Amino acid sequence: MDEPEGLYTVESEEQLWDEIQQVVQRQCAADSHESIDDALRNWLYLASRCRDAFSHSEDDVALCSEKLLAGTLFQSNPDYVRIQIIYSLLQEDDGAPLYAIATFLLLDGRNDEDTYRKMVGENCGYSIYEADLAIEGDREVLVREGLLASEYAFLFSYVDDWCAASFTKLSVYGLRCIECS
């Protein structure tokens, strides 16, 4: 997804959560794909900001995803939101948005296993692997994001006959990150 039209100046954690709440409660008509896309760009920007500037733990980014899942934006348009976020995973290069996207899809897939099937159908496995490679940071960040990749590897292999090479790469990467801690 492209950058949001009006970038937010988020100066406090409280402001961040208020902005996220406003975005996920936005009501968009099902046929208004442009306004849904704008809201998703805003959510992704804010979730990325959460990870980069305000995150105290991995649970903070997960909370951003849980808010989107529970919000009007997703509840009114789940299939469209889901596929747009899957496409974002395939296009994004930056670590913070990739982590927010991957976390959202992981949580969504826990509620609806078809999310994983759609990800497999769109060949997202390598994108998850690349997401982990794109992430730079301290050991704690690498460990939690390596664990995310390992969890995806397990889930994808469970859901479908996924490429064995990708599964091996993700599992080895996740385990390597665990060993670093």
Domain ranges, residue 34: 13-131
* Residue 90 counted as domain residue: yes
Q: Is residue 157 part of a domain?
A: no
Question: What single-letter amino acid sits at 152?
Answer: Y
Residue at 62: amino acid letter? A
Q: For 90-138, what is each residue's pLDDT tens digit?
A: 998 887 888 889 889 989 988 898 888 888 788 777 676 665 555 545 4
Q: Please give the Cα distance from 137 to 115 (Å, whole number).
A: 29
> What does pTM read for this prediction?
0.75
Number of domains the chain contains? 1
- d(CA 115, CA 117) in angstroms, rounded, equals 5
pLDDT digits 0-9 by tens, 5-39:
555 677 888 898 999 999 999 998 888 999 999 99
Is the pLDDT at 85 greater than 50? The verdict is yes
What does the block give as tokens for 157? 């292999």
Q: Tell me whether residue 98 is in a domain.
A: yes
> Is residue 157 very low, low, confident or very high in pLDDT (cuts 50, 70, 90)?
low
| Residue 165 counted as domain residue | no
